[in-house]
Structure 1
Amino acid sequence: MFQINKCCLYTIVSILVLIALLSSITGCAKRMKSANLMNDIRTETVNKKTVDEKFITQTANFSVDLFKKAVKDNENSLISPLSVLLALAMTANGADSTTKEEMELLLTGGGSIEELNEYLYSYVNQLPSEKDSKLNIANSIWFRDDEDRFTVRQDFLQKNADFYGADAYKAPFNATTIKDINLWAQNNTDGMIDKIIEKINQNAIMYLINAIVFDARWKNVYTKNNIFTGEFTAWNGTKSNVEMMNSNESLYIKDENATGFIKNYQNDHYSFVTLLPNSGVSIEDYISSLTGEHLLSILENTETANVLAQLPKFKFDYTIEMKDALIDLGLKTSFDSKSADFSNLGNSSVGNIFIGEVLHKSYISVDELGTKAGAVTIVDMNCGSAMMGYTVRLDRPFIFAIVDNKTKLPIFLGTVMDID
């Protein structure tokens, strides 16, 4: 049995940027120069909906469905479904007609955006954030200072400020704006992500940005005596020596095709979840069969047992363009320069407003001292008695998640296919 008595840090960062484009009919730390328009505007009291089974089930289904579309064959992956959901929800407040209906169907399962605002307000504000298990979420909206081309609707800004605490910046969309957006990202990710855009598309008229920082210590942490050299077999059969971190855990999970364990963070608000497909079951087949409801069922039916858990050190970054994934999931008109309807977002004099792309970037590093991870999503609109014992040795491709223990919803979802 391994003794665990040294602190380990888990840090995750997620950023989502939503960029609105115009299409013509024929085709803390450093100070930012852009002024926050919401500094002198009070947020209004909003209606709240209690987080219930309906919201949890729908959000779990959205999270897993998005994850399945975002995973690339034979690559490590990491996304924050919560980050994507929050940014798309802010965007949906500017949608109307068929575009709004499609967003409502994907994000709520048939409910309304107004209802989703109330659910997400309650959910985000009930997520604990304490000294050793910190979760910070920030949102901002940046729009082009060019009223000859575009004017933003004030009720759109107000609604996103009320429900999502979104800052609002009116900016010239030049080199200074690029620096300011990157500074905002740096300031709201504890400096972990310092650059999210390289340039501004000439047709871009708005960026909607979500940033998530997760920073927590393991409840039971590792010592040097818990680490040994092991072997990891990658997706293609290649074997490599890795540093395995060993611990005794007490929460065992399984279904007919996989086993895993849950490792809690300080204060028991959040946990690290692993799922290892059984020998003979490919990780691709397992992911393709996974649903949000099934993931919730696995997490709700844990077995208290002695689990010898072996977790390898790993780190990787990941980038995915989510436009095709979201179109496949039902957001067809949102990306169509002619049929998209974001008239509740603002008024354009030179063309229609639509979503150009959704770019998600992420990074994760897990070692004996802790874990650091970051994700960026850019949506270009143009997270006593002896017990039966088990061993879960993560020495081949596996799935991992960071979950909110109260609702069991995944804040981050990822896969490890190879370890360099």
Structure 2
Amino acid sequence: MRKSIRLLTGVLLLFVFMIFLMGCRKQIKSKNLLSGVVAEKVSGKVLNQTFLDSQFSLSLNLFKESVNESLNENVLISPLSVALALAMTGNGADGVTKSQMEEFLGGGITMDDLNEYLYTYVNSLPSGSNYKLNIANSIWYRDQEERLKVYDSFLQKTVNYYDAELYKSPFDDTTLSDINNWVDKNTDGMIKKILDKIDPDHIMFLINAIVFDAKWNIPYKKDDVNPNKFTDINGDLKDVTMMKSNEIDYIFDDYAKGFIRPYKDEKYSFAALLPNEGVSIYEYINLLTKESLTNTLNNYERTEVTAFTPKFSYSYEIEMSDLLQKLGINDAFDPMSADFSKMGKSSAGNIFIGDVLHKTYISVDEKGTKAAAVTKIGMKETAVDPFSEKIIKLDRPFVYMIIDNQTKLPIFIGVLVTV
């Protein structure tokens, strides 16, 4: 029976979107092992350009491949959610499997150094009353000691660097409910569940969840929100509600122009790029490079920008196994070649990644943005110039991001092609 690892990343909407999550908390019945595991002190590593470049590359590679597999659809991914779930998994890898994961996650940065960098980065991301960013990780493994042995050293690293919650569970309907309740809780209800069933050969799930909820630094006024039109990817005119604002950060490259709109306290921002007339959205995405995107986000022009942004919301889901193999993670998905010998051992056979599922959701309105992302990995056996005003009207397909203003890394990146 094919063994697998599943990766799931939930709602993204980090940018301009709002997601409302409500509901009572449901009790998790699986055995929480954290009472017996104390996080050891780690210092982290100071973020450098090598690490930042690797994360821009990872973000663009994931985004481009996701778009290629979802043509004519709205796409939204959280590179950070995918990276954190895979990094936890990578701490159980060795040999060629580990090398391939290191190359994808950090351009060759060792797993030990990646742990340190990601620890520093995640803990540098601010969260406050007007801009909430919560990140949660968990590992669930089968409570069947004669079949599965999970190494303490692996679990300790995930606690030390990723603050992971650890659950030993029977992998029955109770576990299914527990995992989905955990996802529901840690995405503020934006993603209700990540699993429909647990297969007999599932032995472990590694899950990351991200929630973003931020208000605009300058709210939209009632008179600035009006009916308008959006020309979708098929050339059809769609009714939308368009929000008008005055911005001061104009961004552009050779093929597109856009703007940056900050959230409260300017810790995070929404960035949008509209391809020039005559450049299709997919041509533009293919032309994006790490260098061009980094340059665009870091070298904005201070000038008056009249921006028009549509209200929108949507869900997105993609199975990433093939995509990740195209990007170089091959052995991890091969039942014979996968080497997760630092994670544990199974009496039933080799451990490898079988599938990677990424789920996202986004909603944008006048008040701000709420977003969430969940990544599940399931292991189986086996100064303003008043004379240069710009007008940016997002009334046709465009690329958007939710970025943290310190590093300019996209926490979420998507493309809107229809409403």
* TM-score normalized with structure 2 length: 0.92
Query: In 2 relative to 1, CA 119–12 (structure 1 residues): closer, same or farther, beyond 3 Å?
Result: farther
Question: In terms of mean alpha carbon deviation, does 228-237 or 116-125 score higher?
Answer: 228-237
Q: Give the partner amino acid of 1:197.
A: L
Query: In 2 relative to 1, CA 220–387 (structure 1 residues): closer, same or farther, beyond 3 Å?
Result: farther
Is 1:41 paired with 2:40? no
Q: Give the partner amino acid of 1:329.
A: L
Is 1:55 paired with 2:39? no
Counterpart in the other structure of 1:205: 203
Deviation at 1:9, TM superposition (A): 7.8
- Give the alignment partner of residue 365 of structure 1, picking from 343, 363, 366: 363
1:246, 1:308 within 8 Å by CA — same for their partners in 2?
yes
Query: In 2 relative to 1, CA 40–11 (structure 1 residues): closer, same or farther, beyond 3 Å?
Result: farther
Between the aligned partners of 1:158 and 1:387, the Cα distance in structure 2 is 58
Q: Deviations over 1:35-58 (max 9, x none)?
A: 210123210012411011111111
* Number of residue-to-residue matches in the alignment: 398
Counterpart in the other structure of 2:5: none
Q: Give the partner amino acid of 1:356.
A: G
Query: In 2 relative to 1, CA 359–216 (structure 1 residues): closer, same or farther, beyond 3 Å?
Result: same
Q: Deviations over 1:166-195 (max 9, x none)?
A: 011000000000111111112212233221
Is 1:399 paired with 2:399? yes
Between the aligned partners of 2:111 and 2:281, the Cα distance in structure 1 is 34
| 1:320-335 correspondence runs (5 A) | 320-335=318-333
Deviation at 1:150, TM superposition (A): 0.8
Is 1:390 paired with 2:390? yes
Deviation at 1:284, TM superposition (A): 0.7
Q: Deviations over 1:325-352 (max 9, x none)?
A: 1000000001001110001000111111
Secondary structure of residue in 1 paired with 2:351: strand
- Give the alignment partner of residue 156 of structure 1, picking from 154, 157, 172: 154
1:252, 1:303 within 8 Å by CA — same for their partners in 2?
yes
Between the aligned partners of 1:101 and 1:63, the Cα distance in structure 2 is 19
Counterpart in the other structure of 1:92: 90
Q: Give the partner amino acid of 1:418.
A: T
1:65, 1:291 within 8 Å by CA — same for their partners in 2?
no
Secondary structure of residue in 2 paired with 1:352: coil
Between the aligned partners of 1:152 and 1:187, the Cα distance in structure 2 is 26
Between the aligned partners of 1:12 and 1:102, the Cα distance in structure 2 is 36
Secondary structure of residue in 2 paired with 1:403: strand
Query: In 2 relative to 1, CA 128–387 (structure 1 residues): closer, same or farther, beyond 3 Å?
Result: farther
Query: In 2 relative to 1, CA 417–326 (structure 1 residues): closer, same or farther, beyond 3 Å?
Result: same
Deviation at 1:152, TM superposition (A): 0.4
2:17, 2:362 within 8 Å by CA — same for their partners in 1?
no
Query: In 2 relative to 1, CA 121–12 (structure 1 residues): closer, same or farther, beyond 3 Å?
Result: farther
1:359, 1:380 within 8 Å by CA — same for their partners in 2?
no
Secondary structure of residue in 2 paired with 1:388: strand
1:142, 1:207 within 8 Å by CA — same for their partners in 2?
yes
- Give the alignment partner of residue 274 of structure 1, picking from 269, 272, 287: 272
Q: Give the partner amino acid of 2:56.
A: A
2:16, 2:365 within 8 Å by CA — same for their partners in 1?
no
- Give the alignment partner of residue 345 of structure 1, picking from 339, 343, 346: 343
Between the aligned partners of 2:334 and 2:188, the Cα distance in structure 1 is 36
2:216, 2:367 within 8 Å by CA — same for their partners in 1?
no
Query: In 2 relative to 1, CA 87–153 (structure 1 residues): closer, same or farther, beyond 3 Å?
Result: same
Question: In terms of mean alpha carbon deviation, does 358-367 or 207-216 score higher?
Answer: 358-367
